[in-house]
Amino acid sequence: MKKKFLITTGGSGGHVIPALIIFKHLLKEFEVIITTDKRGSNFFDKNIQKFKIINTPRLNNLFFLPFNLFKIIFLTIKSFLFIKSEKIQKIISTGGYMSLPVILAAKLCGLKIYLLEPNLVLGRANKFFLSSCEKIFCYSNKIRNFPNQFKNKIVLINPLVREEFYINDNISIEKNQFNLLIIGGSQGASIFDKNLKKSIVNISKKYPIKIVQQTNEKNISNLKEFYSENNVKNFIFSFNENFKEIIQASDFSITRAGASTLAELSISNIPFLAVPLPSSKDNHQYENANFYKNNDCCWVIDQHLFEDNVEEILLNILKNKEDFFIKKENLKKLNYQNTWISVNQKILNTLNEN
């Protein structure tokens, strides 16, 4: 009989996507259940993943803090009863305030707790539970704000990407044009919608270019109309099940710096210009992007400099592609031993040893 494993996650794709990848890694060896909040449930395939809603409130509103603390206590009791009824034996959290009552309940149940930190800055929830966990899976041992006394708990793994990203489908790319992918993240990025359009049109007058852009659902028709009116080839979308094929059919990407997105671009050998979200908690997107920059795999620019400089950066890449190909080669080296099997074995060996 398989052991029962609980994964707790929620919120944005930055937390949920790694949880779904871990779900896939564990599925052959464990019976796996996931807890998430309502926002996180939008990422789930209801026919595949078994999950339960634990809708944890944010604790950043002082006015509602007493009520929300009471709700946390209630949700902790609810999680405790759920863990007992499902006979959960081990638990892993991908971080975030959403997991707070579930991890508290797991502690009360005396379960072994594992953490995942996909960012290069230790998240606050993970830091809070670091002393209680068995191990924490990380992509680097140089994580900002990580207490030295707990560094022996770090288990290094390659960045988590979905299994299909390890398969190169040899997608045909139109070589007579520059295929530019713009990724706004799971919540879109208005800066790419508003501050990039004119530069793209200017560049299209000098070089053949096609824009493939992920944006918010409500912006699709406006962007499509703008680029079409200016004779720029385009494909504008909000969500697409074939996102792997979209990435692999690209030459270059402009993106935010969420850990999952950068990992998918990296494993697909697509150089990118990262524009970290300035409001990301503890500036973790900047640290994520810097990891790849320090390995000479990408370009990074601050948001406030983006509009004035993006056109020049893209033109320099198109005029002289030497630096572009250096970064492609460095991405290949970075992922030389990164396989689904190697990540899978590292995760399962760690969970079975402890």
Domain 3-158+338-353: what homologous superfamily? Glycogen Phosphorylase B; (3.40.50.2000)
Q: How confident is the model at residue 187 (pLDDT cuts 50, 70, 90)?
A: low
Higher pLDDT, 271 or 14: 271
Q: In what order do the strands lie in the sheet with 3-8?
A: 51-53, 30-36, 3-8, 90-93, 112-117, 135-138, 154-156
pLDDT given at position 171? 62
Among candidates 303, 316, 310, which has minimal Cα distance to 201?
Answer: 310
pLDDT given at position 241? 72
pTM of the entire structure?
0.91
Domain 165-334: what homologous superfamily? Glycogen Phosphorylase B; (3.40.50.2000)
pLDDT given at position 251? 94
Residues 199, 202, 205, 206, Cα dihedral to 10°: -80
Would 3-158+338-353 and 165-334 be classified into the same CATH topology?
yes
Which SS3 state, helix, strand or coil, does residue 113 take?
strand
The domain locations on the chain are 3-158+338-353, 165-334
pLDDT in tens, 189-247: 788 988 899 999 999 999 999 999 998 888 899 999 999 999 999 999 987 778 899 99
pLDDT in tens, 244-268: 999 999 999 999 999 999 999 999 9
What is the Cα–Cα distance from 61 to 80, expressed in whole angstroms? 26
pLDDT in tens, 142-152: 999 999 999 99
pLDDT in tens, 287-341: 999 999 999 999 999 999 999 999 999 999 999 899 999 999 999 999 988 999 9
Q: How confident is the model at residue 348 (pLDDT cuts 50, 70, 90)?
A: very high
pLDDT in tens, 3-61: 899 999 998 888 999 999 999 999 989 999 999 998 888 888 776 677 888 988 877 77
pLDDT given at position 174? 63
How far is Cα of residue 39 from the mean position of the Cα atoms in its chain? 15
